[in-house]
Structure 1
Amino acid sequence: MAGSALTGTSVAGLMAELGALEEPRAREVNEKHGDDHGVNLGKLRAVAKRLKTQPELARELWETGDTAARLLALLVCRPKVFERDELDTMLREARTPKVHDWLVNYVVKKNPHAEELRLAWSADPDPVAASAGWALTSERVVKQPEGLDLAGLLDIIESEMKGAPDRLQWAMNTCLAQIGIGHAEHRDRAVSIGERLEVLKDYPTPPGCTSPYAPSWITEMVRRQHDK
C-alpha cells in the first residue's frame, strides 16, 4: 500500500500489534457497551503517540473495518483534511459507539465542515446520524451559542427525546443539560423538561460521579460554577 510505504509503518504490523494488546476482560466489558474490541485504550493511545500524525496510514487503518484499527486511525489522522462527504460516509460506517464518539469528538468537531454536517445530521432520519448532529449542537451550545435557537431546541427535545432510540436520546439529553447549565434564562425550563420526561432518571451512577439525569446534572454543575 502506498501510504504504508510512505510512512514506513505497515498496516499488517500494526494489526498484529493491536492483536497482541487484546485483553479478554477488556473485550468483555467493551462488548457490553456495543464495542467489539479488547484493546486497553491507554495502550492504544500509547501506540498513537508513537506513530504521531500520519493521514495516509489513518485512511488505511480505517479501511480495515477493524474497531481497534479505526480508533487508532482517528488518533493519528489529520482532522481538517477530510471532505464533508467523506466524513458522512465514515459516520455511517462507524458501527460501534466508541468509533462513532471518537469520530465526532476528535475529528468532525475540528473539521471545517462541522457546522454543515451538524445541520444535515440533526435532520437525518437515521437516529445514529441524528445523534451525531445533536452532539455537535451540544458543542455549539457550550462554545458558540450565538445564532442557535435555544428555545426551539428545547421544543424539539421536549417533544421527541422521550421516545428517541438510546443513542439519540442520550445526545438530546446532553444538549438539554448543556442548555440548562450554560444559559440561565433557559435553566428553569430545561430542568422542568427533564423532570417531566424523567429520561435517565434511574441511570446507575457510581458514587462521586454526576448523574446524566438532566435536572441533577444541571443542578450539580451550576453549584460547582458558584463554588469557584
Structure 2
Amino acid sequence: MAELAGLEDPRFREVNEKHGDDHGVSLGKLRALAKRLKTQQELARRLWETEDTAARLLATLICRPKAFERDELDVMVRGARTPKVQDWLVNYVVKKGPHAEELRTAWFADPDPVVASAGWALTTERVAKKPEGLDLSGLLDVIEAEMKAAPDRLQWAMNNCLARIGIEHAEHRARALDIGERLEVLKDYPTPPNCTSPFAPLWITEMVHRRHDT
C-alpha cells in the first residue's frame, strides 16, 4: 500500500477522476508492479479488501481467476464502485474463470444498472467469440428499447454490444446500424484523432472497412 501511495501522481488522478476513477497511479506502473509480484492469490484478496482503487486494480492483475467462487465474484462486482475496477474485474478475472456464463445470465437482468453492465460486457464477449445459442435479434430488441434511457455505464455496455453485433454478424449489420443512427447514443462523444468513435454506426463501419482492407 505504501508503494502504491508512492506511485500516486496528481495529474493522473485529475484525468482519472473525470472518468469516475479515484486513483492517480499510471496503469503502466501498476502492470509493472504486477509483473514483479507475479501471481499471489492471498495478497490479491487482501488488496481487494482495502477498497482502495489502485490496490483493487493491482489485485485483478495478480490473482488466480479460477480460485474465486461464484458468490465471491458476485459480491466483488457489486462492490467494485469505479468503472476501471469493474472493467478489469470482468475482463481479467470473471471472463477467465469457470463461472463466467452463469454470472453473465445472472447479471444481465440485474436491477442494479452497474451490475447489469457487467452482464452486458460478458454478453458482448460471447457475441464476438461464442455466439452459438445467443438470441442476437432479441439482444437488438432490448438495446433498441432500453439503451437510449439507460444510465451511463449500462448504456456504454449496451452500445458496445450493439457495435459488436454489427461488426461480427453481417446478417444483423443493417439493423444494428439503423438502431445506432436512430438512437444517436454517443454520437457527440469526444474522440481523439486517430481513435475510433464509440458511436456505433461509425465504429461498425470503420471496423468492417478495416477487415476488408486486410
* TM bracket (short chain): over 0.9
Among candidates 37, 49, 53, match of residue 63 of structure 1: 49
Among candidates 76, 93, 102, match of residue 116 of structure 1: 102
Letter in 2 for 1:134: W
State yes or no: 1:87 paired with 2:73: yes
Structure 1 unaligned spans of 5+? 1-14
State yes or no: 1:142 paired with 2:128: yes
Matched residue of 2:196: which SS? coil
How far residue 54 of structure 1 moved from its aligned partner, in angstroms, is 0.4
Determine which structure has more spread, i.e. the larger CA radius of gyration: 1
TM-score (norm 1): 0.93
User: C-alpha separation between the residues in 2 aligned to 1:162 and 1:198?
Assistant: 8
Matched residue of 1:209: which SS? coil
User: C-alpha separation between the residues in 1 aligned to 2:38 and 2:76?
Assistant: 21
Corresponding residue for 1:3? none
CA RMSD of aligned residues (A): 0.5
Letter in 1 for 2:4: L
User: C-alpha separation between the residues in 2 aligned to 1:140 and 1:85?
Assistant: 21
Letter in 1 for 2:42: E
Corresponding residue for 1:162? 148
User: C-alpha separation between the residues in 2 aligned to 1:221 and 1:95?
Assistant: 31
Deviations 1:153-207 (A, max 9, x none): 0000000000000000000000000000000000000000000000001111111
Among candidates 47, 54, 62, match of residue 76 of structure 1: 62
Among candidates 165, 190, 211, match of residue 197 of structure 2: 211
State yes or no: 1:199 paired with 2:185: yes
Letter in 1 for 2:24: G
Q: How many residues align?
A: 214
Matched residue of 1:36: which SS? coil
Corresponding residue for 1:105? 91
User: C-alpha separation between the residues in 2 aligned to 1:98 and 1:190?
Assistant: 27
Identity %: 82
User: C-alpha separation between the residues in 1 aligned to 2:118 and 2:92?
Assistant: 12
Deviations 1:130-161 (A, max 9, x none): 00000000000000000000000000000000
Matched residue of 1:30: which SS? helix
Structure 2 unaligned spans of 5+? none
Matched residue of 2:95: which SS? helix
User: C-alpha separation between the residues in 1 aligned to 2:56 and 2:192?
Assistant: 30
